[in-house]
Amino acid sequence: MVSLLLAAGASTRMKSKYPKVIHPLCGKPMIQWVLDAVSEVTNNVCVVVGHQAERVKEVLPSGVEVAYQLEQLGTAHAVMSAREFLDPSDDVLILYGDMPLVRGETLKRVIQAHRSKDCDVTVVSIESPDPTGYGRIIRDSQGRFVKIVEEFDASEQEKRIKEINTGVYVFKGKKLLEVLPKIKCDNNKKEYYLTDAVGLLEKVNVHKEEEVEDFSGINNRVQLAEAEKIQRMRILRKLMLEGVTIIDPANTYIDGDVKIGKDTVVHPMTFIEGRTIIGEDCIIGPMTRIVDCVIEDSVSVVRSECVGAHIMSGVSVGPFSRLREGTVLHSKVKIGNFVEVKNSKIGSNTKAQHLTYLGDSQIGENVNVGAGTITCNFDGKKKNQTVIEDDVFIGSNTALVAPVRIKKGAFVAAGSTITQEVPEWSLAIARARQENKLNWVLRKKEKEEG
C-alpha cells in the first residue's frame, strides 16, 4: 500500500497568500492531519505539490516523498506527476491534502472494502445534503455504478443527485498505470480528471461511507472554522473518555498533540496548545493559555499564560502570572499574581507571590521573593544573570541589578537596590536613610497663605 496526497492547488477561495493545506487546524497544518491518518495504513507516502511548493514542503515531516505538478491541469495530471512513485504491484490510496477530518480507522475500512471486492478501483462516496461542487455518482436503475460526472459537466438532472464522489480512491497500481496515459482533457475545463481513470476500468467498487464528516474538504475560512470545531470536539471527547474532566467543552480549546493525565480538571476559556504535556490531578484554568509546556502532577495554573515552561509537581501558578520560555519551576514553588518569569530556574518551596519580574535567574530552595522585586537583567547590550542561593529572604520593592549573587541565608531589606554580592547570612540594605522634617507641611502652608 502506498498513498498519494494531492496538494498542488492554489485555492483562490481561501483568499490567502499562503497555500491552503498549511493553514492550521487545532494546532497543526491541515495536511498534517491527513498524513497522521494515512500513517495508520502505510508509511509510503508522496505529496504532490505545485502552488507555493516550497512553503508546503516546509511543513511536511521527514520520510514523505514529494512530486511536483508544475501546471495544475487536473487531478489525473497530478497523479501523472507522481508516476515514479507508483509501482504496479502496489495498491494506491489517493486523497486530498485539504481533508483534515479523515481518520485512520475510516481509511482502514475503505482499504478493507477494496481488497474484499478484488476490484480495479474503489471509489469512496457519501450522501451529502448539499452536493454543490462535487462530482456525482451515477447509477443505473439497479443501483449499479455507471460513471462519475463532475459538476461542471453535469446536467441539471444529474446535479440533483445527492451521492457524491469524495475524491478518495484505492487503485490497483497496475491498473492505474495502464489507464493514466489514456485520459484525455476533452471536457469543459480542459483538465485531466482522475474520475476518467475510473471510467476506463472494468471492476469498479463504490464504497459508500457513513462518516460524512471525515470527507469534508476545506475551500474557505468558513469551512476551516467548521472543521476546527469538529476536530476540537473529537480531541476533547477522547481526553474525557481517558479520564480528564473538561468543565465546558464548548469553551475549551486543546490542540491535537496535547497529552493530559487522568483526574486533571480543565476549566472554561482555557487554551492548551502545541506539544504540551500535563500530568495527573492538575487544575488548569479558567482563562489560561499554555503552549509547549511540560506540567507534572498536582499543579494548579489559574488565569495565567505559560509558554515553553517546565512546571514540576505541586506547583501553583497564578492568577495573572506569565511564564516565558526557559522557565523551570521545581516542586512546590508558588508563583502568584502579576509575576513574570523568563529563562529562570526556581528551586523547591520558593515563593514569588506578587508583582515580580524574575528574568535570567538561578534561584535556590526556600527563597522568599517579596512583592515588587525585579531582576534588572538587561544592561542595554546583553542579558545578565541573577543568582539567589537557598534560604534567602528578598524584601519587597527590591531591584537586583545583574550580574549579581545573593548568597545562602542572606536577608535583603525592603526597598533596596542591590548591585554587589551579598555574603552568606548577611543583611543587605541599599537605600537612602530616612529623614523626617518636623512641621515642614505647616510651615509650607503658612508661607503659601502669607
**Which letter, b or e, does each residue of 387-408 get, where b requires 16 or more Cβ atoms within 10 Å of its Cβ?**
bbbbbbbbbbbbebbbebbbbe
* pTM listed for this prediction: 0.92
How is 341-389 classified by DSSP, letter by letter?
A: EES-EE-TT-EEEEEEEEESEEE-SS-EE-TT-EEE-B-SSSB--EEE-
Contact residues for 430 (Cβ-Cβ < 8 A; gap 6+): 413, 416, 417, 418, 419
User: How far, in Å, CA of 336 to CA of 318, rounded?
Assistant: 5
pLDDT tens, per residue, the chain with 450 residues: 999 999 998 889 999 999 999 999 999 999 999 999 999 999 999 999 999 999 999 999 999 999 999 998 999 999 999 999 999 999 999 999 999 999 999 999 999 999 999 999 999 999 998 898 899 999 999 989 999 998 888 999 999 999 999 999 999 999 999 999 999 988 778 889 899 999 999 999 999 999 999 999 999 999 999 999 999 999 999 999 999 999 999 999 999 999 999 999 999 999 999 999 999 999 999 999 999 999 999 999 999 999 999 999 999 999 999 999 999 999 999 999 999 999 999 999 999 999 999 999 999 999 999 999 999 999 999 999 999 999 999 999 999 999 999 999 999 999 999 999 999 999 999 998 889 999 999 999 999 987
Residue 344 · residue 327 · CB < 8 Å? yes
Nearest to 136 by CA among 111, 106, 157: 157
Residue 318 · residue 302 · CB < 8 Å? yes
Residue 290 · residue 271 · CB < 8 Å? yes
Q: Annotated catalytic sites, by residue? A: 354
- Classify 261 as helix, strand or coil: coil
Nearest to 372 by CA among 390, 393, 344, 394: 394
Contact residues for 99 (Cβ-Cβ < 8 A; gap 6+): 34, 167, 168, 214, 215, 216, 217, 218
Strand partners, 144: none
User: How far, in Å, CA of 46 to CA of 5, rounded?
Assistant: 6
Q: Hey, what domains does the chain have and what are their CATH numbers?
A: 2-221 (3.90.550.10), 244-428 (2.160.10.10)
